[in-house]
Amino acid sequence: MTTPPSASPSVVSLTPGPVSVDDVVAVARDGAPVALSDEALAGIDRARGVVEALAAAETPTYGVSTGFGALATRHIPTEMRAQLQRSLVRSHAAGSGPEVEREVVRALMLLRLSTLATGHTGVRREVAELLAALLTHGITPVVHEYGSLGCSGDLAPLSHCALALMGEGTVRDAAGELMPAAAALAAVGLGPVELRAKEGLALINGTDGMLGMLVLALADLRTLLRSADVAAAMSVEALLGTDRVFAAELAALRPHPGIAASAANLTRILADSGVVASHRGPDCNRVQDAYSLRCAPAVHGAARDTLEHAARVAERELAAAIDNPVVVGDRVESNGNFHGAPVGYVLDFLAIAAADVASMSERRTDRALDRARNHGLPPFLADDPGVDSGHMIAQYTQAAIVSELKRLAVPASVDSIPSSAMQEDHVAMGWSAARKLRRSVDGLTRVVAIEVLTAARALDLRAPLTPSPATGAVVALLRGAGIEGPGPDRHLAPEIETAVGLVASGAVVEAVQDTIGELQ
């Protein structure tokens, strides 16, 4: 799920402090240029002085004058240390599989640069400045799907980025053209750097890939969970459900913030609905709506609270300086802060939430299509049932996606495969958790879009009863985008993709907010 880039993004200036979620999104998706503040450069220089002093000392220091991982016991002579750094990056750039998305690579590059800007890694300023220049010029190293265990950081993905700083490997330029890194650098007036003591290690030892994907997922899910509230409201209305169960006094009896927010959204979206008003009188013999309608705030609210927990973890990680060893004062210390468990856990947690929200959405769609449960609508919302199939197979598509989302909800972070001759005997698999969450977000987008599409058709079929102003605005949005109302069967896949685009871009939420104001 992506959002359209802004016309002219402003420069993101990195300081020794935390980078914001908004800045990550601006650089990753909008192509915002990046600069290092004077304060950041001063801190980089101070840390570099510490590393150079240790490099000149006779006593071995891990990461500065030794090998790495299980080879850390070997002391490396001064004249071989540049080769050590080159060898480290080249050997660790061992990714395989499909190319990772540009926005993910830009996010991980920015987050690695943010750690360099803290003044705790010991690189020279020209290394950090070249990384910033790659982002500014839109040069994106080719990173592959497989290669990170999420411990010692996202080693292989970051190594492919470090390789580009050396003028090696393959990149895409700002236009997306694939080319050698050296050619891309030269085309914008840049030259490669020769890495010195500790610099190769500092460029590859962080949780930046998994964290970048977490930040992007948070941005997407904030919109998606509002979209799920809109879709649920449309289904409640189309299925002649009641809005009374969403009253604030009832939500307050179970004081979870997410439940209150979702219930408030549903109440506001359904306000002034002619459909809801039509069955509010004493003649209504409906006692309780099905769980997929009545309990929407419980599921959507739990997902919202999960999102907020994940956001707090992301904020802490965005304030971190992750490297090993790390420069602290006038010394370098080994540590385990590169372990991806804190990020991996919440990535998995969000995949669970996405699967459950999608599961409930699909159940509402199925109910709208079932003549036995949809309270007077035609089977499958078909124009001429039997001749026409209506939205029958759109629900199949939802069901296939939901099944996939349930498989993606199986945690990656509980797995561990020992590596590096048992030196790295417990790993986080956070990168894997992040990759599957991206697929989960895409799947949830598609499921919600199909619910919106189906509920809009059902609302049209309720005429002359009128939907609420908010849900009516969504129906109008779909119709204005070329999705026709009820009628004989037609090619449905293009309509689904149009609806997916409207949900992913936030247009569905914007249509509601333009009508009734900001949703929670």
**Per-residue tens of pLDDT for the chain, all 520 residues:** 544 444 578 999 999 999 999 999 999 999 999 999 999 999 999 999 999 998 888 777 777 777 766 677 778 788 788 888 899 999 999 999 999 999 999 999 999 999 999 999 999 999 999 999 999 999 999 999 998 888 878 999 999 999 999 999 999 999 999 999 999 999 999 999 999 989 999 999 899 999 999 999 999 999 999 999 999 999 999 999 999 999 999 999 999 999 999 999 999 999 999 999 888 766 655 668 999 999 999 999 999 999 999 999 999 999 999 988 889 988 888 888 888 889 999 999 999 999 999 999 999 999 999 999 999 999 999 999 999 999 999 999 999 999 999 999 999 999 888 887 777 777 888 999 999 999 999 999 999 999 999 999 999 999 999 999 999 999 999 999 999 999 999 999 999 999 999 999 999 999 999 999 999 9
d(CA 343, CA 35): 26
Of the candidates 431, 325, 427, the one whose C-alpha atom is nearest the C-alpha of residue 72 is: 325
Structure tokens at 251: 């939500």
Q: Check residue 383 and report its DSSP letter.
A: S
Helix (H) or strand (E) holding 516: helix 507-516
Q: Check residue 419 and report its DSSP letter.
A: B
Structure tokens at 450: 């199909």
Burial class (CB in 10 A: 0-12, 13-18, 19+), 491: exposed
Question: 271 near 468, Cβ under 8 Å?
Answer: yes
Q: How many residues does the chain have?
A: 520
Question: 368 near 399, Cβ under 8 Å?
Answer: no
Q: Check residue 463 and report its DSSP letter.
A: T
- Which residues in the chain are classed under CATH 1.10.275.10? 12-206
pTM of the predicted model as reported, rounded to 2 decimal places: 0.94
Residues designated catalytic: 62
Burial class (CB in 10 A: 0-12, 13-18, 19+), 283: exposed
Residue 294: how many other CB atoms lie within 10 Å? 16
Angle, CA 320 vertex, CA 341 and CA 343 arms, to 5°: 20
* One-letter amino acid for residue 310 of the chain: A
Q: Give the ranges where 189-289 is alpha helix by DSSP (H).
A: 199-204, 208-238, 248-251, 257-270, 274-277
Per DSSP, which regions of 75-118 are E strands? 96-99
CA distances for 81 relative to 45, 56, 84, 332, 404, angstroms: 20, 11, 5, 17, 48
- Which residues in the chain are classed under CATH 1.20.200.10? 214-516
Q: What is the CATH number of domain 12-206?
A: 1.10.275.10
DSSP assignment of 119-158 equals: T-S---HHHHHHHHHHHHTT-EE--EEE---SSSSSHHHH
Which CATH homologous superfamily contains domain 214-516? Answer: Fumarase/aspartase (Central domain) (1.20.200.10)
Phi, psi of 361 (to 5 degrees): -60, -45
